[in-house]
Amino acid sequence: MRITSYARRHRRGTFEVFCVFLATAVSGITCTAELAQAKGPQFDAPFLDHQKKNAERWAVEDQQIDQKLAALRDRFGKRPNIIYILADDVGWGELGWQGGGKHRGTPTPELDRMAQEGMRFWSAYAEPSCTPSRIAINTGRHPVRTGLLSVLWPGQTEGLSAEEKTVAEVLSDAGYNTAMWGKWHLGDLPEHAPENQGYDYAYYGMWNGAPDNWPGSFDMYNDAPNSMKAMFYDFPGAEEYKKRTGIDLTEAAFVGRKGEGRKPVEGVAGTLGPDRQEAFEAESIKQITAYVTDKAKDDKPFFIYWATYTQQLQGSKAHHNDKHVDKVNAQASAMAAHNAHVRQLLDTLKAEGIAENTLVVWISDNGPMYVFYPNSGYSWLRGGKGDVLEGGVRVPAMAWWPGMIAPNQDPVDILHLTDLFTTAARLGGALDQIPSDRVTDGIDQTALLLLGEDHGRRNMMFHYSGGVLGAIRYEDFKVHLKAGHGGLPGMDFYNVMRDPGEKFGQLYPGLFAVTPIQMILKSHMLMVRKFPNRVSETVPQGAELTPHD
């Protein structure tokens, strides 16, 4: 595995990095007023300072990028198509190219081939759990800014506010066809649904993305041999549940069209039971490839958001007996099916002659959900889904774009899920469609994609756990924030280049970084005051029950 130091790549010693750290923090505080006056997307104060310091170099890079994109547009007659694949609960190290694959009973040869043909990201990050990551990729904003602080549950009435502008809305305004398939998980009510959030077409599951519930009477071992035996022991069935709670879980999936509303999915893919999600995924890839074939001939480019159900509790009967698949782990056979589906998509793009005009990004939404182990993913890093430890937020990711992204690259530049929002806007010529009355956390990473390693434009990020800021990563350094004691600040420092497993976190080796961290926090919070977070409608959990600033 290649984990190269940011400091080493830029020929800086630890002390010098701390000095730069301090300078960035101090100047970031002064940028708040300036940021509020800027045109276009409104970025957070620390990034604005980073942008200012690199303005001259980035201007040269942007000219190179514009020339590449202009030549592409001349060749195809339209802007590039964009496909984002958001996998579910796949840990850092689960795929073959990260040391997993068949060695862990989860063979992913086609995903590994995609990575070999494109760019493999070693420092890609998501949010700690499902709903927050879906907010991040769709809005380019930290979930805490949108008022949705945590995972939404089946039957919950909250969802993504209509005032948030999604990547589908941004690209629709720029002339794109837009469609989504899979796990929406941003609210079940019609006003929250994807067809009312910018997507022209949507084929999506209900119950806020939860695994199917069914009574324990199902013969799991004979009817679905590689699925997890019912864990929801007391679930009485959808009809009885509706009688008791008033929450209707009988409609498992919908087809929605912008301006036309939605209707339930019929057949196995829309019917409660252990076979539904396998049927749903099979129908999804069938529709996706048909959509690509149809839109390849369209004068307008397309945007596809495919949020797979790949890692849910139900396995894949069709791939249960595949070579090297762990027969105990339902996710292993589901990953084998997904692996084949991704290859179908890439092959379709090639067959239609549009692969070189289509960016495909594959990324996981968070780390593995160990509560269902062994029916779960795995990570070599500490922590899992729900944690701001590396195992919860550092995820596998890759980008594929023949002719535009050079093959077999493995940059260590930092990438965050929110960056995909702003990058799509840049590629789609739609940066001016991003609202300027709120902070956008996503950074345009087109330079990283098209120019390669060391051209990433993110040098730090905030890791929120619900409404609580849990950690900050800055270059190779990461600090976990916690309650102080005895007058000492509550901080554990790690060098995640040297210690990606976060095993050796201490305050004292990072004493010189305490003040810079505090200054970055102040500049960030000043921006929150300038652009307040949307008031949360969700029920607070854990630490969020205690008021905090």
What CATH number is attached to the domain comprising 434?
3.40.720.10
DSSP output for 203-215: EEE-GGGPPPP--
Contact 43, 439 (CB under 8 A): yes
Q: Give a yes or no: residue 247 inside a domain.
A: yes
Residue range of the domain that includes 140: 82-456
Q: Are residues 37 and 91 in the same domain?
A: no
Kindly state whether residues 420 and 473 are assigned to the same domain: no
Can you read off the two tokens belonging to residue 464?
A: 């929120």
Q: What is the per-residue pLDDT across 191-236, written as a single tens digit (0 to 9) for each? A: 999 999 999 999 999 888 877 665 444 555 555 555 555 555 566 7
Contact 329, 376 (CB under 8 A): yes
Same domain, 445 and 466: no
**For residue range 478-512, what is the model confidence (pLDDT) as tens digits?**
999 987 666 667 788 999 999 999 999 887 777 88
Per-residue pLDDT at 219: 54
At residue 228, the pLDDT reads: 55
In a domain, 313, yes or no: yes
Q: 129 and 88 in contact (C-beta within 8 Å)?
A: no
Query: Is 449 domain-assigned?
Result: yes
Edge-to-edge strand order for the sheet containing 302-307? 261-264, 253-257, 201-205, 177-182, 302-307, 81-87, 358-364, 394-400, 119-125, 415-416
**One domain for residues 500 and 441:** no
The type of residue at 305 is Y
- Which helix (H) or strand (E) element contains residue 300? none
Looking at the structure, do residues 113 and 237 belong to the same domain, yes or no? yes
Ranges of residues in the chain whose predicted pLDDT is under 50: 1-22, 24-26, 28-33, 35-37, 215-217, 543, 545-549
Q: Which amino acid is at 251?
A: E
Q: Which residues contact 404 (CB under 8 A, 6 or more apart)?
A: 68, 72, 80, 356, 359, 449, 450
Residue 67 lies in a domain: no
Q: Quick check: is 545 in a domain?
A: no
State residue 487's pLDDT score: 65
In this structure, are 469 and 450 located in the same domain? no
Number of structural domains found in the chain? 2
pLDDT of residue 249: 78
Give the distance from CA 452 to its chain's centroid.
21
Contacts of residue 81, defined as CB under 8 A and 6 or more positions apart, other chains included, come to 295, 301, 302, 303, 304, 354, 357, 358, 359
Write the CB contacts of 114 (distance below 8 Å, at least 6 apart in sequence).
342, 343, 346, 360, 362, 398, 400
Instruction: Answer with the one of 456, 476, 504 that is the final residue of a domain.
Output: 456
Residue at which a domain ends, from 410, 441, 456: 456
Copy the structure tokens of residue 410. Answer: 């493995």
Distance CA 100, CA 117 (A): 18
SS3 481: strand
Bond prior to 489 in cis (omega within 30° of 0):
no
Query: Is 428 domain-assigned?
Result: yes
| CA 87/CA 305 separation, integer angstroms | 11
CA distance 152 to 126: 17
Whole-angstrom distance, CA of residue 73 vs CA of residue 71: 5
| Best CA proximity match to 127, nearest among 468, 422, 531 | 468
347 lies in some domain: yes
Asked if 396 and 499 sit in the same domain, the reply is no
Domain end position, chosen among 429, 456, 483: 456
> Could you tell me the two tokens for 108?
């992913």
Asked whether residue 204 is domain-assigned, the answer is: yes
For residue 207, the model assigns a pLDDT of 82
Q: Are 221 and 327 in contact (CB under 8 A)?
A: no
Same domain, yes or no, for 474 and 406?
Answer: no
pLDDT of residue 546: 40
Give the pLDDT confidence of 380-425 residue by residue, as tens digits: 999 999 999 999 999 999 999 999 999 999 999 999 999 999 999 9
pLDDT of 4 reads 43
Helix (H) or strand (E) holding 123: strand 119-125
Same domain, yes or no: 492 and 439: no
What are residue 127's DSSP bridge partners?
Answer: none
Pair (358, 430) in one structural domain:
yes
**Whether residues 18 and 163 fall in one domain:** no
Let me know if 36 is exposed, middle or buried by CB neighbors in 10 A (0-12, 13-18, 19+).
middle
- Which two tokens mark 356? 């070189």
Q: Based on the fold, state whether residues 239 and 160 are members of the same structural domain.
A: yes
